[in-house]
Amino acid sequence: YFGISLSIGLSIALFGREVIALVSDPKYLEAHRVVPFISAAAVFHGFYYLTSVSIFYRKKTNLIPLLTGLVGAINILLNLKWLPMFGYMGAAYATTVSFFILCLLSYIVGRRMYAIKFPLGKIVTISLVAVLIFRISQFTMDYPLLLSLLLKFMFLAGFLVLLLAMKIFTIKDLQTIKILLRLREQR
């Protein structure tokens, strides 16, 4: 799950600028700056659902509002601090940090209740690689559009190959996803 969600998040972060340029007024192009942060927040939020399974399994769901309430308060405090300093980017930073904290707290609390083994080494490695790929892609912003898109597709393809090489997901997983997508189309 994490490999797939990180791949989708990286795709959104890589191509967010181009999508905004295609679908919106040029005065909104600056909004592309928040896309990678909101994309990362969505990945953390998705991983929170995985890490909170132990809490649900042990029927300690009373902890969920405590965790989300605490993180909600942290988000408000970070927004109060960062909005005046960074403007709308402060809200993007606060959201990303808050969802990371929620994911981390859920992992820590859940692990004490029922230890689910997550491949943390691989998760950290592919996360760092995704961040590195995104940062490198930022150098293509001044390139002609087609060259920039080609390079970004190459970066994304390289990332997917790395996920396969690290056995984050397998060819069989990809075939299963393909079947599920076909079934969804048939509805």
Token digits of residue 13: 């972060």
What is the C-alpha to C-alpha distance for residues 146 and 84, in angstroms, rounded to an integer? 37
Rg of the chain on CA atoms, in Å: 18
Token digits of residue 142: 């001044």
Please list the rounded mean pLDDT of every run of 10 residues in the chain (187 residues): 85 91 87 94 92 87 93 98 97 98 93 82 87 90 86 92 80 76 76
The identity of residue 172, as a single letter, is K
- Alpha-carbon distances, residue 140 vs 15, 136, 137, 149, 160 (angstroms): 11, 8, 5, 9, 20
Verdict on whether the full-model pTM lies above 0.85: no
Q: What is the pLDDT of residue 99?
A: 97
What is the C-alpha to C-alpha distance for residues 178 and 19, in angstroms, rounded to an integer? 24
Q: What is the pLDDT of residue 105?
A: 94
Q: What is the pLDDT of residue 152?
A: 92
